[in-house]
Structure formats: structure tokens, C-alpha cells
Amino acid sequence: MIMLDLQSETPIYMQLKNKIIEGIASKQLNPGDPLPSVRNLAQDLGINMHTVNKAYQLLKQDGIIHIHRQKGVVINPDGMPEADDSYVTLLKEQLRPLLSESICRGMGEEEILSYCKGIMEEIKKGGDKT
């Protein structure tokens, strides 16, 4: 069951999008797997239908899920989109301030990389950690 933090400064629709992506990264969700309807998921999570729809629309734009008008929502059966140049550029822009502050606070390069490694292991093992 997906857990959301309604008190977080991270928007709900963004948390939901991230949870689904993390589910795919951990192989708890695989290509072709169905996702709940916007109304069902909204009710299960106790949030609004449009909030779920917003997350789904973003995932659809990125090619991570497919939405068939009345058939439902599924993880892209053809697999995930590639990490192309535009994605890598965006990734770097988002990583940079995080790494900057870590260095700023005296963390060593190996220490930071070690944390990244640890997080990636957690993700692959499907650790919720929340």
C-alpha cells in the first residue's frame, strides 16, 4: 500500500509519481502491470481524483505508463523510456545543489557516493524505509 505524507512540502501528486517510479525501479511493478483507476486509487489514498490524475498525466507524458481510454492504466508494456540527453541534463541540474551542500558541509566525495550507493541498494531491494 502506498503511503503518502500529507504534511510534506512535496506535493501529493509528486509523491505519488515518485512512489510509482520507485515501484518500477524495485521491480515491484513491471511492464504491462495494471494500475488502479484514478477514482479507486484516490479513494484508497483518501485524496482527490484530480490529484491522482495529475500524477498519471505526468507519468504518461514521460512514457512511463500507458492510458487506454476505457481499458485502464498500465505500466508501459514496451519498457521504460531511455535516459536521453535531455533527461541527463535535468538530472544533473537537480543533483548539483544537493551535492554542493553536502560538500559545503564537509562530506567527502567517497562518503557522498557511498550514500548514493546505499540508497540505490535500498531501492532495488524495494525498501520503503518510510
Partner DNA sequence: TTGTCTGTTATATAATTGATATAACAGTTA
Partner DNA sequence: TAACTGTTATATCAATTATATAACAGACAA
Other CB atoms within a 10 A radius of the CB of residue 36 amount to: 15
Nearest to 13 by CA among 43, 44, 57: 57
Q: Nearest approach, Cβ of 70 to DNA (angstroms)?
A: 3
Burial track 53-64 (b if 16+ CB lie within 10 A, e otherwise): bbbbbbbeeeeb
Q: Is 7 exposed, middle or buried (0-12, 13-18, 19+ CB in 10 A)?
A: exposed
Instruction: Choose the stretch contacting its own copies; rule: CB under 8 A; options: 34-42, 48-56, 66-74, 82-90.
Output: 82-90
Q: Which stretch binds its own copies (CB under 8 A): 15-23, 38-46, 49-57, 66-74?
A: 15-23
Binding site for its own copies (CB under 8 A): 18, 21-22, 24-25, 64, 80-83, 87-88, 91-92, 94-107, 109, 112-113, 115-117, 119-120, 122-124
Binding site for DNA (CB under 7 A): 9, 11-14, 37-40, 47-51, 53-54, 56-57, 60, 67, 69-73
